[in-house]
Amino acid sequence: MDAEFCENLPPEQRAETLAEALPYIRAFRGKRIVIKYGGSAMTDERLKKFFAEDIALMSFIGIRPVIVHGGGPQIGALLKKIGKESRFVSGLRVTDAETMDVVEMVLVAKVNKDVVSLINSYGGRAVGISGRDGDLIKAKKAKRIAGVDEDLGLVGDVDKINSEIITCLEAGGFVPVVAPVGAGPGEKPFNINADTAAGALSAALKAEKFLLLTDVPGVLDGENSLISSVSEDQAEELIRLGVVSGGMIPKIRCCLNALRGGVPKAHIIDGRVPHALLLETLTDEGIGTEIVRERAPGT
């Protein structure tokens, strides 16, 4: 945790904090945790530092983090700089060939390397790869959005995950950092939503947890109170009733896809909270909303 924060704690409370983490370290040692990295945690300098520290610490204690990062704001900024308008349909960026060049340039050549360098600066051993490397993410053209008469261009859905490259990197003690660009037919690049790519990767890797960083506290009920835990059925019901709407729907959908692929728990957590990853992974209370395959206790 942040050194300044720890210094303000009495010694006995510091010891309690460390002791509380012990059973979780034991439970998750050697297990994969897939993390979708985005939002404020990826743009705020202090939060970026906390994220890198968390990833380094997780790897030091034997947890195997795999990171999939976004980069929408950075892509939008470069498109604006070259005078090209960004257009979205149902939250997906319409991607022609020129836009795809920018997407790949930003995600693979800039954002990915920045994330890798940041983690390594705090003692981690991160390696950056694209979904096209080793055919990690095989993509297919995304389906048209129902009721929308517009081709999304080079927007892709995940067709297949070839996880061998992840396994090889982990065997060498490295933390994989994945840019969500997929390899389509004829090795054509496809722009894949980072949440979708992370959920599919967590299922293919049989991860112990899937953590999705957002800029909200988690899933909220009709009175804007945090829902700490829901089952798959309950999550679907929240969507059906309109309690969950807008941008939270695709986030829940990718969590549900991860669960149906065999991941025991998915978590939507607030990346604006310092050390959000450690708080969710190594403490009793955790943060955000967990979505579980079985019905949540007491409901």
Q: Is there a binding annotation on residue 123?
A: no
Separation between Cα atoms, residue 151 and residue 224, nearest integer Å = 36
* End-to-end Cα distance, the chain: 34
* Catalytic-labelled residue, pool 38, 39, 131, 288: 39
Strands 265-270 and 289-292: antiparallel
Please identify which of the residues 128, 131, 153, 195 carries the catalytic annotation. 195
Distance from C-alpha of 275 to C-alpha of 228, rounded to nearest angstrom? 18
Active-site choice (156, 251, 261, 270): 251
The question of whether 143 is a catalytic residue gets the answer no
Given 38, 70, 72, 261, the catalytic residue: 72
How many whole angstroms separate alpha carbon 203 and alpha carbon 263?
6
Taking a C-beta distance cutoff of 8 angstroms, is the pair 239, 256 a contact? no
> In the annotation, is 72 catalytic?
yes
Active site residue 251: yes
Q: Is 206 among the residues known to form the active site?
A: no
Number of Cβ within 10 Å of residue 134's Cβ equals: 16
For residue 170, which of 282, 78, 269, 33 has the smallest C-alpha distance? 33
Q: Is 71 annotated for ligand binding?
A: yes
Cβ–Cβ contacts within 10 Å for residue 210, how many? 31
Pairing assessment for the beta strands 209-214 and 265-270 based on DSSP bridges: parallel
C-alpha span between 25 and 91 (Å, rounded)? 37
φ and ψ at residue 200, rounded to 5 degrees: -65, -40
44 is catalytic: no
What is the residue type of 151? Answer: D
CA distances, 180 to each of 27, 36, 105, 208 (Å): 29, 10, 12, 21
**Residue positions in the annotated binding site?**
71-72, 93, 191
Q: Which residues are annotated as a binding site for substrate?
A: 71-72, 93, 191
* Residues forming the active site: 36, 39, 72, 195, 251
